[in-house]
Structure formats: structure tokens, C-alpha cells
Chain A
Amino acid sequence: GAVVSQHPSWVICKSGTSVKIECRSLDFQATTMFWYRQFPKKSLMLMATSNEGSKATYEQGVEKDKFLINHASLTLSTLTVTSAHPEDSSFYICSAPTANQPQHFGDGTRLSIL
């Protein structure tokens, strides 16, 4: 079945570093992908909708310059956390919808900023 691959699964880095997270659809084309953030024991919070060939749509309160999204091709979307700080530490997960099928989620990226 359709699979979404997310990389890296886990990253630790120093404050001020920029971190790139990749989300790939492995056997289908995804014109749209979603990026979520999840705090401990909380549900998923939609950050932005990534659109292939156009700008991402950000949810209210999400800083566009902080969380850069690029949907470079029909199978790849990237989320870059720029100049990361400890408060950006979280679990980030992507998903890609397919027509008439359930959403396919990546395995998530656990980001820890020291």
C-alpha cells in the first residue's frame, strides 16, 4: 500500500541550528502534504499545508519564517526549522492524503534542541 517516509526520525542539535525534515511519498504522487506538531500527551496540531508548485498555507499563529516549507516535487515536501531554539523541541509528523483513501502518515521526527 501507499507509504509515506519521514526522515530523520530523531535529531538532537544545538540552539541556533537549522534542521530540515523530509517527507516523501514512496509510491504515489502527493500534490498536498500536511505538517503537524505534537506536544506530549496532546493531539496533533496542524502547522501548515504544503502544496506542490505553490506556497504553503500556514495555520494561524505559525511563523512562516521560522518553519519553512518547500514542496519541491510531487513526492517530496520538506520542513525546515530555522534557528531552532529549545521551545521548538517537539514531535513533528507529516501526512499525505490520497483520493478516497485514508491519510498516510510519516513515522514522525522527534526534535530536541539543546
Chain B
Amino acid sequence: KNEVEQSPQNLTAQEGEFITINCSYSVGISALHWLQQHPGGGIVSLFMLSSGKKKHGRLIATINIQEKHSSLHITASHPRDSAVYICAVRNGGGATNKLIFGTGTLLAVQP
């Protein structure tokens, strides 16, 4: 069993829909990251969370430390949101500790 599990693995949505991607982890963490990878391969860091909730534009990320679970929400989805979304956790320690990655969620938003 992977230490970081994401669901769903694939998601197709219609433009405008509200989207939720889930991440569960089984290790102790000091931070959780949500990353976005576009077809060209480049990775953008969307959020880094250690507790609570963060919002940036149409994106919202929440984390429940007790339940070891995080969610990424996209409101009013748009075709440009189509990408792979990756959850990654930092297993303790400082910023130079390596990340443990989930397998990613491939999101396709259709117009």
C-alpha cells in the first residue's frame, strides 16, 4: 500500500463543475503539498499546508491532520484546469526533507 493515496485516479468534468480530489496518507507529516503538472511536464506548486485551509483564486485546499486526509477543490472548473494534480507529503523534519508523492489524479475538464 502506498504511503500517499489519491482518489480518483482519473476524473472527467464539464466546464463549471465543482471538483474535489482527495489525498490520504499513512505517515506522520510536517507539510502536505498540492502540485499541478501540465501535459508539457512542468510542475507548479499550488499549496503547502500543515493545518486548516488555504484558498487561492478558484482553488481551495484543506487538511485534517487527525484523519490524515487532504482535499483539493476547484470551483467553476475550466478546460485550462486540465492537468495532473499530485499530492505530496513531507515526512517530518525541515524543508530539505524529501517528499513522498501520490500517484496523481488526471483531470480533464471538457468545454
Contact = CB atoms under 8 A, between A and B. Distances in A.
A83 interface: no
A105 interface: yes
Contacts of A95: 43
A95 B97 CA distance: 12
A49 B98 contact: yes
Interface residues of A, number: 25
Contact of A102 (B41, B48, B86, B94): B48
A108 B42 contact: yes
Interface of B: 33, 35, 40-48, 86, 94-96, 98-99, 101-104
Interface of A: 31-32, 34, 38, 42-44, 46, 49, 91, 93, 95, 97-108, 110
The 5 closest A-B pairs by CB, nearest first: A102-B45, A105-B43, A32-B96, A107-B42, A108-B41
